[in-house]
Amino acid sequence: MTVHDDAFSAGPFTFFASGHENDARFAPPRGSASATLSILRRGSVRVIIRGREHRLKTGSAIYTPTGAHPRGVCLTAVETLSIDIPPRYALPEAVVERTARAWALNVLAETQLQQPGWTLVVEGLVVSGLGYLARMSEREERRPSWVDDAVSLARQQRSLRDVAAILGMHPSHVARSFRAFEGVSIGEYARRCRLELARSALRQSDTPIADVAASAGFCDQSHFTRVFRRLFGVTPAEFRRTRSRNDGGR
């Protein structure tokens, strides 16, 4: 069941901000007939694309061409930002990006904050993201199945040494392959997961920022602020100040 569905535009792209309840079927908003790029704002989704199951989380992106909608279910309450893709920007096949990439996180931040010039920035980010996904589809065909296991372990904050030991592989091989397919090191991936949890805490609670930082594994609030801004484009305080305005709807 869709619990809300708001639309707005930036350049040639139409955006749909929608939410789904836990256990609801995951699908593009409003039965869109266009190709769709969806980015998870919050929550977790299990989808099957081209016969392969993927688990998506905050910041993950999924591209589906016209008429090829994913089969999936929401594992938690979910919020998504879906984008109708005009034919001139369309990709030939479905692509899934499980890792929260900077372009996707910046799309979420820019559409939420809506600072001066945000529509131009978002238009460029979407085009850039589509270009990244077009190249990524070729890499996915060569992706070893053990990389998914490494991703799950990194989410659990396991170190490179731990991941390699559990998989029974040499740490240098794990490190090279993980970076090749995920675009970041295991340590950076684990840190992004902590930052995503911190971002959710800032949005959903009034817990002091220093306490949120400590819960996310940062002893120094200034360091937390720097890495948060580098990933999301705003400081934790700026992000929290926008919460009431944006949660009230457009």
| pLDDT per position as a tens digit, 165-206 | 999 999 999 999 998 888 789 999 899 888 888 988 888 888
* CA separation for the pair 183, 177 (Å, rounded): 9
What does the pLDDT read at residue 31?
47
- Contact between residue 15 and residue 5 where contact means Cβ atoms under 8 Å apart: no
Q: Which of 21-25, 43-47, 61-65, 71-75 has the lowest mean pLDDT?
A: 21-25
Whats the size of the chain, residue-wise? 250
pLDDT band for 248, please (50, 70, 90 cuts): low
DSSP-H helix ranges across 83-145: 102-113, 118-140
Strand 2-10 to strand 45-49: parallel, antiparallel, or no bridges (unpaired)?
Answer: unpaired
% the chain with pLDDT above 90:
29
Predicted confidence band at 25 (pLDDT cuts at 50, 70, 90)?
Answer: confident
CA gap 99, 46 in Å, rounded:
14
Q: Look at 186 and 142; give whichever has higher pLDDT.
A: 186
Q: What pLDDT shows up at residue 1? A: 43
Whether the per-residue pLDDT at 250 is higher than 80: the answer is no
User: Cα separation of 194 and 155, whole Å?
Assistant: 8
Other CB atoms within 10 A of residue 87 CB? 8
Report the predicted TM-score, pTM, of the whole model to 2 decimal places. 0.64
Nearest CA to 74 out of 98, 94, 56, 95 is that of: 56
Distance CA 201, CA 247 (A): 14
According to CATH, what is the number of the domain 2-140? 2.60.120.10
**227 or 181: which leads in pLDDT:** 227
Tokens at 232, concatenated: 């999301």
User: 72 φ, ψ to 5°?
Assistant: -165, 175
What does the pLDDT average to over 71-90?
Answer: 89
Q: What is the DSSP letter of 184?
A: S
Q: Beta strand pairing status for 71-74 and 45-49?
A: antiparallel
CA gap 179, 50 in Å, rounded: 24
Mean pLDDT of the chain: 84
Which CATH superfamily, name and number, covers 187-247? Answer: Homeodomain-like (1.10.10.60)
pLDDT at 99: 77
